Structure 1
């Protein structure tokens, strides 16, 4: 059983990760909107591509979470397939290729 302090630490860490993911999404949306009017340079294209891949990876995780018992299954799935989480939620910072 997790202690109250451990739960608070987990919530704080995930709050920061969620904020990071949202700020990356905000920049990606800006770049997508910009691409409708002007051409993006290679760096901007790469940022959009990486973020869209992150979004596509999140959909299966959300689907598993919504299944009955998904809250128990998702942590097991993350252990088996660590790339299922968006880059902001990965524990290994060397895997994080986005620097949005």
Structure 2
């Protein structure tokens, strides 16, 4: 596989991961709105908790990326601290758990 094909594959995969993360965020916003007028189930509370943790993980990653040389530093940081990525971007999760 040429490097151009590898780059295209990575871009497609990350596009899909970003779309998944956005869908999860949209669901979390819906659940937060629902919580203002009714009680949430334990499963719904857990979904909100996971999504808020993902958002908290994304902010430091973005800050590192915006630093001078951050595009080079972020991949190194991810290798050292793999939990810094939001759940949709973690490769070690099973596919059925990612879809939830």
Is TM (by shorter chain) over 0.5? yes
For the residues of structure 1 that align with 2:99 and 2:16, how far apart are their CA atoms? 15
Cα RMSD (Å): 1.7
Contact 1:87 1:97 in 2 (8 A): no
CA 1:13 to 1:85, structure 2 compared with 1: closer, same or farther past 3 Å?
same
How many Å apart are 1:69 and its aligned residue? 0.3
1:42 maps to 42
Q: Do residues 70 (structure 1) and 53 (structure 2) align?
A: no
For the residues of structure 2 that align with 1:99 and 1:14, how far apart are their CA atoms? 15
- Could you tell me the TM-score, scaled by structure 1's length? 0.91
For the residues of structure 1 that align with 2:30 and 2:99, how far apart are their CA atoms? 15
How many Å apart are 1:98 and its aligned residue? 6.3
- Could you tell me the TM-score, scaled by structure 2's length? 0.91
Gaps of 5+ in 1: none
Q: How many residues align?
A: 98
**Deviation >4 Å, runs of 4+:** 96-99
Gaps of 5+ in 2: none
How many Å apart are 1:93 and its aligned residue? 1.0
